[in-house]
Amino acid sequence: MTSDESKAGKRVVCLGEALVDFVCERPVDSLADADFFVPRQGGSLANIAVTAARLTDRVEMIGGAGDDEWGRWLRDRLAEQGVGVGRFVLKEGAGTSHAFVSVAGNGEPSFAFYGDPERPAAHAAEHLDPSLAGDPGVLVVGSDTLLGQAERDVTMRAVALARERGWKVLCDPNLRPNRWESGDEMVRVISELVAGATVVKLNEGEAQRLSGCASTEDAGRRILELGPRAVVVTRGEHGALLLTESSIQHMDGVPVDVVDATGAGDSVCGVIAAVLAADVPLHTGVIAAMRIAAGVVASWGATEGLPSAAAARGLLGADA
């Protein structure tokens, strides 16, 4: 994939949440032990958009934040990193969502979410038709825009419209039980979203929870039965599985000292979005994503450890 080819590739449209992560950048057992926080750009779909923009020049974020200092800060950071924000709405009178993040000694983060009840995906309703117009591209969705009925309706309508117009739909379920009223509701609603996807990316624990299967391979197969053509299951340092109806491929992980695992799965999803847009073989993208995710977890914050565009494209044989 050369630089010129990436510019001519399909568009990547990310529908979802951008928020401010306030990260305690030292290992602590809980938020109660945190004594300072550093603001970082966050939100799974925003992280995915930033990663994809390292690999292709046609990435757009639709959704929004509050029309306040933090909302403008998020919009400006996305734009600086090559993400189109023409349809990223700053809603007057709304507050910008944020999360306080503590990271344990093993690098695993914990999140406490706060935000405006007028959720960001609901802001995107009027932008769905123009965003998904023109040549088919890749729509990326996740579960953070399923929490309220209004944004759930917008998300499901976006998926239906994308499929009707020949787009590929990439879904990152990103299960967060503490954001749902019940685990059963979470699994039911997210399964409906997964059923409309072309490719699903999720981690091992999410695959087991969503499928009810203890075996990772069985979980992947069960998720395939919902409707996707391919499922990518990440397994931390153990790499990933790529499952299709006809094959299962194992990709090795990259050994690294984990500092902060925040955004690791988002970076994998961002790479997959870019390779789907460029028609690069999916297994090639997953192999590259393992290396990119290793850099992410070696740094604080969800996107600080991403490689430069030149380095990222080099991992896919780009003409950087």
The predicted pLDDT at position 169 comes to 98
CB-based contacts of 104: which residues, under 8 Å, 6+ apart?
27, 28, 29, 110
Instruction: Give the sign of the dihedral formed by CA 49, CA 52, CA 54, CA 60.
Output: negative
Angle subtended at Cα 219 by Cα 218 and Cα 224, rounded to the nearest 5 degrees:
95
Total residues belonging to the chain = 320
Rounded alpha-carbon distances, angstroms, from residue 166 to 95, 113, 132, 138, 157: 35, 35, 10, 9, 14
Domain count, the chain: 1
Bridge-based pairing of strands 59-66 and 12-17 is parallel
Residues of the domain holding 214: 3-314
Decide: helix, strand or coil at residue 161: helix
Domain-located, residue 320: no
Sheet holding 168-172, edge to edge: 88-91, 59-66, 12-17, 138-142, 168-172, 199-203, 230-234, 240-244, 248-251
Q: Can you give the pLDDT of all 320 residues of the chain as single tens digits?
A: 444 444 457 999 999 888 999 999 999 998 899 989 999 999 999 999 999 999 999 999 998 888 899 999 999 999 999 999 999 988 888 888 888 999 998 888 888 888 765 566 667 888 899 999 999 999 999 998 898 888 899 999 999 999 999 999 999 998 989 889 899 999 999 999 999 999 999 999 999 999 999 999 999 999 999 999 999 999 988 999 999 999 999 999 999 999 999 999 999 999 999 999 999 999 999 999 999 999 999 999 999 999 999 999 998 874 33
Domain-located, residue 186: yes
Domain-located, residue 319: no
The predicted pLDDT at position 5 comes to 41
Domain-located, residue 125: yes
Domain-located, residue 221: yes
Domain-located, residue 122: yes
Rounded alpha-carbon distances, angstroms, from residue 172 to 79, 206, 216, 275, 313: 22, 10, 17, 15, 22
CA distance 139 to 14: 6
The predicted pLDDT at position 248 comes to 95
Sheet holding 38-42, edge to edge: 38-42, 19-23, 98-103, 109-114
CATH value at residue 76 = 3.40.1190.20
The answer to whether the CB of 56 falls within 8 A of the CB of 5 is no
Q: 125-163 pLDDT, tens per residue?
A: 888 999 999 999 999 999 988 988 888 999 999 999 999
The predicted pLDDT at position 115 comes to 73
Q: 235-265 pLDDT, tens per residue?
A: 988 999 999 999 999 999 999 999 999 999 9
Beta-strand ranges (E) seen in the chain are 12-17, 19-23, 38-42, 59-66, 88-91, 98-103, 109-114, 138-142, 168-172, 199-203, 230-234, 240-244, 248-251
Domain-located, residue 50: yes
Model pTM score: 0.92
Beta-strand ranges (E) seen in 5-161 are 12-17, 19-23, 38-42, 59-66, 88-91, 98-103, 109-114, 138-142
Domain-located, residue 10: yes
Instruction: Give the sign of the dihedral formed by CA 198, CA 203, CA 207, CA 210.
Output: negative
